[in-house]
Structure 1
Amino acid sequence: MSVEAAVNAGWDSYARIVASLIRVTGDWTLAEDCAQEAMAAALERWPRDGVPANPGGWLLTTARNRAIDVLRRATVEKRKLQEVAMLWDPASPSFEIEDDRLRLIFTCCHPALSLEARVALTLRTIAGVPTTDIARAFMVTESTMTRRITRAKSKIADARIPYRVPTGPALAERLPGVLAVLYLLFTRGYDADGEPAFASEAIRLARLLARLMPSSPEVASLLALLILQHSRRDARRDAAGDLVTLEKQDRSRWDSPAIAEGVAILMRTPVEGPYGVQARIAACHATAHDFADTDWGAIAGWYDELARIQPTPVVALNRAVAHGYAFGPRTGLALLAEARSGGVLDDYAAAIAVEADLVARAGDPARAAELFRTAAEAAPSEIERRALRSRAAELDA
C-alpha cells in the first residue's frame, strides 16, 4: 500500500481512536489531540520508514501511547491509565471500537446542543475536518468556530450528557436528530455553493451508521437517498461551473454504479419514515432514462405521503412541483398558492422560481421571466443568481 493510500485509509481510524479515547478518559480534547498527533506522526514517519502492516493499529497504538504520557504527567487515577493501556489489544474487554463510534455519533448529535453545534462537532470530532474548513462552510472566523466547538464540548461535560447510545423509546426519539445532522451535513456539501467534501463525508458517516444499525430502515433509507442524490454531482455544473437544471443534465454523466447501489438498498428496505419516502422520490428521478421519461405520477404520490408525515413548507413546495409536472401547471400553481398561504415562502427564492417555471409552462413567458429575475434577487448565492437570470434571458429571447 502506498503512503498516500495508507494515510487516506488511516482517516477512517481517526473517529475510532477518538471515540475509544473519549470513552476511557472522558476528555474530548485529549482524545482529539492524541489522534491528530498520531496522524501527524504517520505523515512524518511512513514516507521514511515505510507503511506498517496494520496502519490503523499503528495509529491506535501511537495515540494510546501519547494519551498515556499525558495522563501520567497529570497524575490521574491508576484505573484510567490501565484502561487506556488496554486499547492496543483487540481481544481486551475495552476494545469496543464499533460501539464507541456509535456512542460518539449520538453524543455529538445530542438534542441539548443547537443543530449548528451538532453539525460542527460531528465534522470536527467524527470526521476530523479542520476547524478552518468548518468555519468557512459556516461563514464565520476560525476563532469563532473554535469557541463554538469548545462550548459544545463544555456543555456535554457540564450537563453530564451520557456517552452512550440510548435504548428503547429514547433511541427512537434521538435517531431522527442524528439522521437530520447527517442530512444537513450532506446538503452543506451538495448546495450550489457548498463544500463538496462535506457531501462525501456525510455519505461515509451514513455508511458507518448503517453498518452499526443494520436493522433501522430509516438509516438505510438515508444512505440510499444520499447516494442517489450524489450520483448526479458531475452533471450539475457545466464547463463554466454554472448550475445545470435536472431537465438539461447529461444523464450519461450520472454515476450508474451509485444509482444501482442506492436502488439495491431500497429494494431490501421497507418504507418507514420521511427518508424512506424521499429516497423513493430520488430513485424515480435517478432511474428515468430522460426528463420526459420521469414517472411524475409516482413522484406526486410519494410527495402526498411525505406531506402527510412531514408537513413542512418546503415539502409542500416540492409537492406543487411534482403535481405541476404530473397533472399540469395550473394544478401546480393551485398547490403552490396553498403552500404560500402562511407567508413563510413569500421571499424564498426557490418558491418564486417554482412559480416562474409553472407560469412559463402555463403560457405566460413574459410574466415568468419577470418572476425569474425576482427570484435571482432573492437567491442566496451568485451561482444561483446566474442560473435564474439565464432562465429569464431564455424566456425573453
Structure 2
Amino acid sequence: MSAPDDVTLPGSRIGIRDLPKISLHDHLDGGLRPQTIIELAEPLGIELPAATAPELAAWFAEKSDSGSLVEYLKTFDLTIAVMQTAEGLTRVAREFVEDLADDGVIYGELRWAPEQHLSRGLTLDETVEAVQRGIDEATDSVRAAGGWVRAGQLVSAMRHLDRGTEIAQLALRHRDRGVVGFDIAGPEAGFPASRLSEAFDLLARACFPATVHAGEADGVESIREALVDGHALRLGHGVRIAEDITIERADDESTFVSLGRVAQWVKDRGIALETSPSSNLQTGAIAAWGDTLADHPFDLLYQLGFRVTVNTDNRLMSATSLTRELALLAETFGYGMDDLEAFQLNAAEVAFLPLEDREELVDRIRDGFGRA
C-alpha cells in the first residue's frame, strides 16, 4: 500500500494537504517525532533500538506492521517511556499540534492516558497541565505565523486497569481547561466497556462526552457495550460494525443489504465511526475481509450512509498523516473532492465542541474546499 504524501485530485487546484481537515482519533503517544524520542531518551538513560531518526522511524513502522493489536501496542512502551516528565509531555504536545497544523488540520483531538505517565513522580493533574501547556504554545505559535489550529485533549482510561472512575474525575476537573472528552483504550477483547460502567455513568450524569475504542479488536458485542454501558457518542475505529451487515446477491445479480440491530442503531443515530485505514490494516481489524485497503469496509459503510470519519490513529507507528490517509482512500476507491469534504464535515459535526464552535469548523471546511 503506497501513496504520495500529497496529491491533487482531478478538478482541484490545490493538494489534499492544503485542504482544511479534522482529526478526531490521534494518539499523543503515537505521534512523536523520531528525533524528539532520541533527544528525550538520552537524559533519561533510555536505550533505543536505533541511533538515528530515520532508522528509528523505520523500526517503528516494521514493528507495528504485525497484524496484531497486542503486538502493535508494544511499540508504545518506548514512546511512553520518554513522556514521563512535564517538559517531555509539553514538548511532545507542542510538536504534535504543530505537525497537525503543517498537515492542514484545523481541529484535532489528542487522546492519551495520563495514568501511563506517572513513573517519574508527576501527578495525574500535573500531566494534564503539562500537555495543555504544549497545546497552548503550539496554537499560539501557529496563529502568530498566520495559520489557524485548535486542539483539545481526550483523556483516556486504560480499559484493563482499574482506574476508570479516577480518570473520569480527572477529565471532569479539567473540562474547562482543555479536556474535551473521555475515552478508554488498551486491549479491547476481554475488557468490555461494562468494566468501567461506573466511570461512564459519572460522565453521563455530568453531561460530558465519551468516545470508546470498539469494533477494532473485538466484534459487534463490544460495540453494543460501548453504546449501552459506555454511553458512547462516537466509536473508536468501529469498523467491525460491518460484521452486523449482511450482503446477499440474487440470481439476477441484484444485491440486497440488511443491517443488524446494532448496525441499524449506529447508522440511524449518526454515531460516528473513527476509522483509521492504515492502522486498521496493521492491527488486523479488517482481517475478516482481507489484508489490503481495497478490502476495508470503509467504502461499504460510506455508501450505506454511516457517518464515517478518516483518522491516523498513530502517525509514527503507521508512518502516515491525515493527508496520506485521505490520498490512499481516494486512490483506492476513486473518491473525489466532494467525498473528502463529506468526511471532514462528518468529523466537524461530531467534534467534542459546543455547537457554535462546530459550526465555525464547518464554515472553514466549506470555505477551504470551495477554493479548491
TM category (shorter chain) comes to under 0.3
TM superposition score normalised by structure 2:
0.28
Larger radius of gyration: 1
In terms of fraction of residues, the more helix-rich structure is: 1
TM superposition score normalised by structure 1:
0.27
In terms of fraction of residues, the more strand-rich structure is: 2
